[in-house]
A and B are shown apart, each in its own frame.
Chain A
Amino acid sequence: MFLPSVAERHRRAVLLTVGVLALLAQAVLRLAPLESAGRALTAPVAEFTMPLAAWVVERVSPGAQEGLAPSLASEALIAAEREAGRPEAVPGVAWLEVPVGRMELDRHCLLLAAGADFGLAPGMPVVYGNRWLGRIGATGPSTAEVLLASGAARRTAVVVPGDRDQLLRAVLEGRGGDHRPLIRWPEPKGEPVVGSLVRYRRGSDDPPPYAGLDLRIGSVIRVGDPDRDSAAWEVDFDLPAGAEGRVFVAAGAVSESVVAEPQVRSGATQLALRADGVFGARLCALRAAAGVRAAVATVDDRVLGRVVAQRGELLWCSLRAPAQWPASSWVGLDQNVATREEAELLFTRGGSGVPRGLFLGAQSDPAPRPVGALQVLGRVPLEEPEAER
């Protein structure tokens, strides 16, 4: 029997250690060029093994779907948002309906999926229903930023009931972060009534028709100790669930179109494999046209799952029951748009490329199976606004 020398054994041991460590490093760090090379090596084998595996899966576990609530088109959520969010008509004010493209709540901003080309300009009021949200900030041709009233150093003219039965004129100043905005400089002298509603007041730069807007911002909360002269009045400003989908912008004049719809890419797809060799029925493989960048797959107008991996034409889609989706990724539709967990029907909340308002299913539905008309969808990425802030 051939036995290598001690030096040769040590050399092999070192080489093996380095090789295994390099493989582990690549598995964890995922260098893109090596990843592509690995996938290129796997693809021809998958062309051969995947159809055979799919044939076996179909024989062993046929994919009949049972016990699902009837599908609702995404228009159901849009209609609910529109109904809850459309402000009252005010003479001299037209309302532009603009979908939200992305939420940047750490910056207290929303990025809208329409911009200067749609008639949006800095300073325009942004509302949802009878709620004041903020003003348009920077705009680009197809995107615009909403500066929420709660952002740091953002000031909004407000009125608030005072303790001497008078209306106090004041300024609401946002503080950013997790802090609630503060009521500053009330005029005439007085104290806001705790629990009373703070309302929008026409600022000096606003056109005269805006005086007719009756918009609430939030209710007054008292903080600090008045005996130590450290009392302050905060306002509990929050973003309504429906305002994550679309907002309404006040304009003096509007063009023919008053609704901007976000661009969504879609493409037909076919089932390649109903289950994954490692993770089982939690994943399925779909085959779409090359170059399709999809974020979500649907089956018969219902969300099948998020696209979690893509290898050329192959898309891997995670399958989970509607109730198992993270709470941050759905909105409920009961009688109003809501994020509370009792809502029976769930829709996608939007974000990370997933269009808003796709039907996820009822809370009690099981995970959908990839049986039926399959489609992949993804939102066109938004451009950042270019104007000066």
Chain B
Amino acid sequence: MKWVRWRVLLPVALLITVVAPALRASSLGQALPDPWLLLAIGCVPARASDRLRYAVEVVLVLGVLRASVSAVSPWSCWAGLAAALFVRERVHRHLSEESFLLRFLVGALAALAPVLLDSLEAQRLGLERAWTESLLGVVWVGSFWAVVRRPGPRRLRLDR
């Protein structure tokens, strides 16, 4: 399963990395979500510590790819992705998956650390970053998690 995932994940991550600067430079680029964060959130299971090695590898690879086409420090990329997965796991354990709002809350809380780190990085680089960009980043990840984590039909669940 893991190898299949990497076979899919690595080309997708590379494609995202190559396309991201062009998307960001477009007129709506600043309103788009962080693709590496969405990919990390989407491909690492919610209980990331159960597949710790895989989660660490994903954070490492996506962080390197993100830093390779950006002025952002690689440590900031790794910290942001790792903190997002960590917060998501911690919060996810305690909240029900049944409610869209609660799933959105889990995703939004997970996105807080990377968004804050990006704002800090922008400040360091002397760039102006509107607060709406940060807010959109949080909303995107929250919405993404609320949609992809939607529970299936109750009759098909193993833990019913």
Contacts and interface: CB of A to CB of B under 8 A. Distances in A.
B14 A49 contact: yes
A276 B69 CA distance: 6
Interface in B117-132: 117-118, 120-122, 125-129
Interface residues of B, number: 46
Interface stretch (A203-211, A254-262, A277-285): A277-285
B17 A53 contact: yes
Contact of B21 (A24, A35, A57): A57
Contacts of A41: 64, 74
B5 interface: no
Contact of A308 (B64, B70, B126): B126
Interface in B61-85: 64-76, 78-80, 82-83
Given A24-B79, A283-B71, A276 B49 contact: no
Given A278-B70, A279-B71, A308-B126, A56 B21 contact: yes
A308 B128 CA distance: 13
Given A50-B69, A283-B127, 20 more contacts: A12-B52, A20-B83, A23-B79, A27-B76, A38-B74, A39-B73, A41-B74, A45-B64, A45-B68, A46-B67, A52-B18, A53-B18, A56-B18, A60-B26, A273-B69, A274-B25, A277-B24, A278-B72, A279-B122, A280-B26
Contact of B113 (A24, A34, A54, A309): A24
Dominant secondary structure at the A interface: helix
B21 A23 contact: no
B22 A56 contact: yes
Nearest to A282: B127
Contact of A46 (B49, B68, B117, B122): B68
A18 to B, nearest CB: 11
A196 interface: no
Contacts of B18: 49, 52-53, 56
A279 B74 contact: no
A306 to B, nearest CB: 7
**Interface core residue of B34, B68, B76 (most chain A CB under 10 Å):** B68
Interface residues of A, number: 51
Contacts of A39: 73-74
Interface in A293-321: 306, 308-309, 316, 318
A316 to B, nearest CB: 4
19 contacts: A12-B49, A27-B75, A27-B76, A27-B78, A30-B73, A35-B73, A38-B67, A45-B65, A50-B68, A56-B21, A274-B21, A275-B29, A276-B70, A279-B125, A280-B24, A282-B127, A283-B125, A283-B127, A309-B71
Nearest to B24: A280
A26 interface: yes
Interface string A242-282: 00000000000000000000000000000001111111111
A309 B64 CA distance: 17
Nearest to A3: B50
A19 interface: yes
Given A52-B18, A278-B72, A61 B25 contact: yes
B44 interface: no
Contact of A53 (B20, B34, B118, B125): B20
B70 A279 contact: yes
B25 A275 contact: yes
A277 B20 contact: yes
Given A26-B75, A56-B18, A280 B29 contact: yes
A327 interface: no
The 3 closest A-B pairs by CB, nearest first: A275-B25, A280-B24, A316-B71
A281 B127 CA distance: 11
Contacts of A4: 50
B49 A280 contact: no
Contacts of B68: 42, 45-46, 48-50
Interface in A212-245: none
Contacts of A64: none
B66 A278 contact: yes
B19 interface: yes
Nearest to A48: B68
Nearest to A315: B71
B30 interface: yes
A274 B22 CA distance: 9
A289 interface: no
A27 B79 contact: yes
A290 interface: no
Contacts of A316: 71, 125
Contacts of A285: 71
A28 interface: yes
B76 to A, nearest CB: 4
Contacts of B25: 57, 60-61, 274-275, 280-281
A39 to B, nearest CB: 7
A278 B76 CA distance: 12
